[in-house]
Copies of this chain bind each other. A is one copy, B any other.
């Protein structure tokens, strides 16, 4: 089939692009390279089945053009920066909400009826149900990022109803692994390379978070596409565990054989809107038959192995 991947040069988008190409699909990739990395497309660009379009999705024209004869849209382009949302609120509105609208409209213009969307566990805000299932109580948003993904999900669902689309919405925990290029493992590793004697930690280190290895995430997406055929298919994606930031620090230091002095900024949140506990109930997709192969600890180690072999990435990301 012919697929369109938005955000094809991003961490998740480029892994997905490689997977789709490996499965023999034709892939149109779009990226504006605001955070995407040309280096992530090295494999893809060698394939005759891959076509790269450099475009900003705030412009509808190129998007409508690109979507001709496409069967499925994988919409991964987003401002994925949860932490600094309050510094530039328009970014989440534009890059996540409005861009998703543009994608949905371009689909309508081209009669494309299937969309796969990368959502987030942040959408549950600060729930009090753990692990958190897809049908958790109607949440209150605590971040502009979460709010913008909620807005996008809502539109996708309404288009599914109004225009007979089929939608796959995946609410991810934080994803780790090859091409991972922002988040706490990245930050800690970078800080430790600079100064291995001390490590500054946002919050009190007791924030409980969940992670999933990128290849497990990819497997889950394809598994759901094959085994779930509702009009609107919503799945949490994560492992059956969570870890404390302190656990993660311990594994990172053990792997790197370092004993830095830990300096905690304090408070139960790393920043305003940081969610001190994320742990998703992934029973829905597990019931279909999928399960992750890597534990959170193994995912963190895989990520460090990748970063060690790709130090250029640490330079590129301020």
Residues of A that sit less than 8 Å from B by CB: 85-86, 89-90, 93, 97-98, 101, 104-105, 108, 124-125, 134-144, 146-148, 150-151, 153-155, 157-159, 161-163, 232, 234, 272-273
A134 to B90, CA, bound (A): 28
Task: Return the contact of A272 from the options B151, B162, B232 (Cβ within 8 A).
Answer: B162
B162–A155 touching, CB < 8 Å:
no
B151–A97 touching, CB < 8 Å:
yes
Across the A-B interface, the 4 shortest Cβ-Cβ residue pairs: A151-B151, A147-B154, A135-B137, A147-B158
Q: How many copies make up the complex?
A: 2
Interface of A is mostly: helix
A161–B136 touching, CB < 8 Å:
no
Residues of B within 8 A of A273 (CB): 158, 161-162
Residue among A89, A90, A125, A135 with the highest chain B CB neighbour number at 10 A = A89
B140–A272 touching, CB < 8 Å:
no
Task: Return the contact of A161 from the options B108, B141, B148, B163 (Cβ within 8 A).
Answer: B141
A138 to B136, CA, bound (A): 6
